[in-house]
Amino acid sequence: MTAALTTPAGPTAARTAGAPRQWRWLARLHRPALIGGGALVLLTAAVLVWLGGPLTDASAAAWKVYNACGFTPRCSYDQSAILLYKDVYNYATFAVLTVPFLVAAWAGGALVGRETESGTARLAWTQGVSPAHWLASRLVLPAVLTVAATGLLAALHHWAWATGRDHIDTTKFWYDMATFTANGTVPVGLALAGLAAGALAGLVLRRALAAMAAATVTVGVLWAAVHAAMPYLWPSVTRVSGLQEGPLGRGLLVGEGVLTPEGRAEAPCVNGGLGGCRGSLADMGATAFYRDLHPVSHYWPLQLVATGILLTVAGLMTYAAFRVLRRTTGTAHG
């Protein structure tokens, strides 16, 4: 008499154990991408630490000597330290802002697009993994890694920028758009939107290269849209100054001009010298300059609202991906 073998209760047990198995499979399948992406993140993080530490110290010391020289014809200071800081800052900022595009390209081309194109996905669905669980396993763990990596780089970038802000004369203003974006939570929202866009494109197009291109373009469109909408995501403040003072107020600019008895009007000399256009201002009946802008206190409200919009878009694209998967596989439930 042979002993009865106990086996898991069919589909339920398969689904319960399916996610860890899928994650292990994903780690093996995408090992080169994980190693390459991890190395890129660690390298960028190391550069940002270098930027906020030794490079900031050397550049700040050079600027201190330069400013102490005044207008002396001969001034011995370490110009190479200033230029190196500037170059490394620009490259590091570019690296942080590139992460959402790399996530989108990987998600569309390799994570989902390649498996739908090659038929690997359908093979997995016949081996006890439901389509919904298959897609969820390809979104959950990558999303966690994306948030961790992008959040780390953005935090280090903000720290490196803040370290040199009061010591280096050429430090970017907080409202410089590249610095503004890389310093906050927007890259995290963009990266998650890129992950969702890649998954959706891979399911719809079923071609790795086409999905990679579509996801990357989607991130570019979202980035452009966020930049265009950013000044209007939070109520701005108005700074009014006299005609003799010229336009005053520094921050993320929304609009500027002059005040007249009829209301606001565009000024021909807001961005130029006042000497040549005082007559024009008098003819307009201008009484003061105005600027609508966001001060530094609006930085985090703008960041969080923009990130919230991006996360909403990412959620909608994720929902659309599951709907497409349900329609193409004919499954009513995960």
pLDDT of residue 71: 67
Does 173 lie in the same domain as 160? yes
Q: Which tokens go with 223?
A: 């980035």
- What ranges make up the beta strands (E) of the chain? 237-241, 252-260, 263-265, 288-294
Distance in angstroms (rounded) separating the CA atoms of residues 235 and 328: 44
Residue 71 lies in domain:
25-233+298-329
- Is 241 in the same domain as 266? yes
Amino acid, single-letter form, for residue 198 = G
Q: What is the pLDDT of residue 88?
A: 96
Residue 174: the pLDDT is: 95
Whether residues 281 and 311 fall in one domain? no
Residue 209's pLDDT is 94
Domain identity same for 207 and 303 = yes
| Confidence (pLDDT) at 138 | 84
DSSP 142-188: HHHHHHHHHHHHHHHHHHHHHHHTTT-TTPPPTTSHHHHHHTSSHHH
**Helical axes 79-106 vs 208-229, angle rounded to 10°:** 120
Tell me what pLDDT residue 333 has. Answer: 45
Q: Does a structural domain hold residue 33? A: yes
Q: Are residues 278 and 165 in the same domain?
A: no
Q: State residue 309's pLDDT score.
A: 97
Q: Are residues 302 and 245 in the same domain?
A: no
Q: Is residue 155 part of a domain?
A: yes
Number of structural domains, the chain?
2
Does 4 reside within a domain?
Answer: no
Residue 37's identity, in one-letter code, is G
Which pTM was predicted?
0.86
**Both 276 and 195 in a single domain?**
no
Is 16 contained in some domain? no
**Based on C-alpha coordinates, what's the Rg of the chain?**
27
What is the CB neighbour count within 10 angstroms for residue 244?
Answer: 7
Same domain (yes/no): 218, 255: no
Four-point Cα dihedral 239, 240, 245, 250, nearest 10: 10
Give the Cα separation of 203 and 220 in Å (integer): 20
Say how far apart CA 184 and CA 302 lie, in whole Å: 10
Determine the pLDDT at residue 17: 45
Q: Say how far apart CA 145 and CA 137 lie, in whole Å.
A: 13
Q: Please give the Cα distance from 161 to 152 (Å, whole number).
A: 14
* Contact indicator for 14, 8 with CB cutoff of 8 Å: yes
In a shared domain, residues 164 and 257: no
Contact at 8 Å (CB) between 169 and 67?
Answer: yes
Q: Which amino acid is at 333?
A: H
Can you say whether the dihedral through the CA atoms of 205, 207, 208, 210 is positive or negative? negative
d(CA 41, CA 78): 30
Q: Within this chain, do residues 220 and 242 fall inside the same structural domain, yes or no?
A: no
DSSP β-ladder status, 288-294 and 252-260: antiparallel
Per-residue pLDDT 10s for the chain (334 aa) are: 344 433 344 444 444 445 566 566 666 666 777 888 889 999 999 999 999 999 999 999 999 988 888 667 777 888 899 999 999 999 999 999 999 999 999 998 888 888 888 887 787 777 777 888 888 888 988 999 999 999 999 999 999 999 999 889 889 999 999 999 999 999 999 999 999 999 999 999 999 999 999 999 999 999 999 999 999 999 999 999 888 787 888 899 998 888 888 888 877 665 555 545 766 777 778 888 889 999 999 999 999 999 999 999 999 999 999 999 988 876 544 4
